[in-house]
């Protein structure tokens, strides 16, 4: 699994650097297969302001941009379509070697000189896939190293967790190991207090009127909890949350899915969000799969289940393979 050293340190206060943390975890019996400093490959990538975006004189699908990095103005040929004058962007200067291995050189594209490259999130190693170049927040300072502007001072550990150490499959779990290794206290997690608001969503509202939970396989799942969240507007997660998930190997999807994955990475507890409107007859069943049942999971793959697999279902169909993956 991939683990963020900064995230771990939110639960245990140690001054040790990432290498020292990795060494102590190795002595504790966890295999650290690698360390990746987030800023690596970004040494010659700086923030910039797009001053001008014109059509390339020799190519309809390219643009010719004037880009300012403080006192200097650069001419850049770009193939993206999502940028405009005034945008803050990430400029890879000649000599840069990006995280994906691409080397940036001053070049000539369709008879026009280009002094670098405007980068996408994929090229910068921030995302597995991306469209267009990275557009930075408008308040981003100009002409500073991108890693500095984005606060990319974290190190990602590649941890090989053995089957007997499921307690380490989370940031809090690894924080406990770090605390033990450095003889440091683990920070307390503040308890959830619930929503104290008074109003029509709270007064006279019964959870059981909306959804009923039937635990039919207590030997496989002794306890199942759920909570109804109303007034949700699905949209993109904050950029900091997206980057933290991506750094730990989880593709950001939307604020609802990302919240469940974030909690899973932090606590080690798998969870899933269901659309109440899509739950047939308002019933959730935690049960064993029957022979011949199948599900199309979130990755779009149909999966034939084995009799006895633990699933979450409504009154008519399987919604999720419990603790593994939700349905599409």
Domain assignment present for 264 = yes
191 lies in a domain? no
In a domain, 93, yes or no: yes
Q: What is the pLDDT of residue 194?
A: 54
Could you tell me if 213 and 247 lie in one domain? Answer: yes
Q: Confirm if 131 and 82 have CB atoms less than 8 A apart.
A: yes
pLDDT at 254 over 50: yes
Q: Please give the share of the chain, as a percent, with pLDDT higher than 90.
A: 72
Question: For all residues of the chain together, what is the average pLDDT?
Answer: 90
User: Residue written as tokens 């499959």?
Assistant: 169
How confident is the model at residue 100, as a pLDDT? 85
pLDDT above 90: residue 312: yes
Q: Is 202 a member of any domain? A: no
Same-domain check for residues 49 and 125: yes
Domain count, the chain: 3
- Are residues 63 and 28 part of one domain? no
- Do 271 and 285 fall within a single domain? yes
> Are residues 144 and 56 part of one domain?
yes
Q: What is the mean pLDDT of residues 169-176?
A: 96
* Judgement on whether residues 170 and 84 belong to the same structural domain of the protein: no
90/63 same-domain check? yes
- Minimum mean pLDDT range among 48-62, 179-193, 295-309: 179-193
Write down the pLDDT at residue 300. 87
Burial bucket for residue 144 (CB in 10 Å: 0-12, 13-18, 19+): middle
* Residue-level pLDDT at 192: 60
Residues 128 and 165 reside in one and the same domain: no
pLDDT tens profile 180-213? 999 999 987 766 665 544 444 444 456 667 889 9
| Alpha carbons 176 and 186: distance in angstroms, whole number | 6
Give me the pLDDT at residue 230, please.
86
- Tell me if 17 is assigned to some domain: yes
Are residues 23 and 90 both part of a single domain? Answer: no
pLDDT at residue 299 in the model: 84
- What CATH number is associated with residue 70? 2.40.50.140
Is the pLDDT at 271 greater than 90? The verdict is: no
Q: Residue 29's domain is classified under what CATH number?
A: 3.30.56.10
- Domain of residue 177, residue span: 2-38+154-182
Distance CA 175, CA 211 (A): 36
| Residue burial 209-245, b: 16+ Cβ < 10 Å; e: rest | eebeeeeebeeeeeeeeeeeeeeeeeeebeeebbbbb
Number of Cβ within a 10 Å radius of residue 173: 20
Query: pLDDT value at position 98?
Result: 93
Query: Do 80 and 26 fall within a single domain?
Result: no
Position 200 in a domain? no
**pLDDT tens, position by position, 103-129:** 999 999 999 999 999 999 999 988 878
Q: Which 3 state secondary structure label does DSSP give 138?
A: coil
Q: What is the percentage of the chain residues whose pLDDT exceeds 70?
A: 94
Claim to verify: residue 34 and residue 50 sit in the same structural domain = no
pLDDT at 323: 85
In a domain? residue 198: no
Average pLDDT over residues 227-233: 89
pLDDT at 34: 93
pLDDT tens per residue across span 142-157: 999 999 898 888 999 9
d(CA 163, CA 1): 12
Instruction: Report pLDDT for 201.
Output: 46
Per the model's pLDDT, the better-predicted residue between 75 and 208 turns out to be 75
Lowest mean pLDDT, pick from 195-199, 242-246, 322-326: 195-199
Give me the pLDDT at residue 226, please. 87
The pTM score is 0.76
């Amino acid at each position: 699994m991939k683990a963020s050293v900064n995230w771990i340190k939110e639960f245990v206060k140690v001054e040790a650097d990432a290498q020292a943390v990795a060494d102590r975890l190795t002595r504790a019996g966890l295999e650290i297969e690698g360390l990746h400093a987030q800023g690596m490959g970004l040494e010659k990538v700086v923030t910039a302001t797009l001053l001008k975006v014109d059509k390339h004189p020799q190519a309809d699908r390219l643009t010719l941009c004037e880009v300012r990095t403080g006192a200097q103005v650069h001419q850049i040929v770009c193939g993206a379509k999502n940028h405009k004058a005034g945008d803050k962007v990430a400029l890879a200067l000649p000599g840069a070697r990006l995280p994906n291995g691409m080397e940036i050189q001053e070049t000539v594209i369709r008879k026009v000189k280009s002094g670098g490259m405007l980068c996408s999130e994929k090229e910068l190693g921030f995302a597995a896939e991306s469209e267009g170049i990275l557009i930075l927040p408008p308040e981003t300072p100009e002409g500073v190293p991108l890693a500095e502007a984005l606060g990319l001072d974290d190190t990602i550990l590649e941890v090989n967790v053995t089957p007997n150490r499921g307690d380490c499959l989370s940031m809090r779990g690894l924080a406990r190991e770090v605390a033990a290794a450095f003889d440091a206290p683990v920070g307390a997690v503040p308890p959830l207090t619930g929503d104290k608001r008074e109003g029509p969503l709270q007064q006279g509202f019964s959870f059981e009127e909306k959804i009923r939970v039937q635990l039919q396989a207590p030997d496989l799942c002794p306890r199942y909890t759920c909570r109804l969240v109303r007034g949700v507007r699905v949209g993109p997660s904050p950029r900091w949350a997206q980057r933290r998930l991506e750094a730990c190997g989880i593709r950001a999807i939307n604020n609802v899915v990302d919240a469940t994955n974030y909690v899973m990475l932090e606590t080690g507890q798998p969870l899933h969000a269901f659309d109440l409107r899509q739950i047939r007859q308002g019933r959730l069943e935690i049960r064993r799969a029957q022979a011949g049942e199948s599900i199309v999971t979130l990755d779009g793959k149909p999966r034939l289940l084995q009799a006895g697999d633990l699933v979450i279902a409504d009154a008519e169909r399987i919604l999720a393979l419990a603790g593994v993956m939700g349905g599409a």
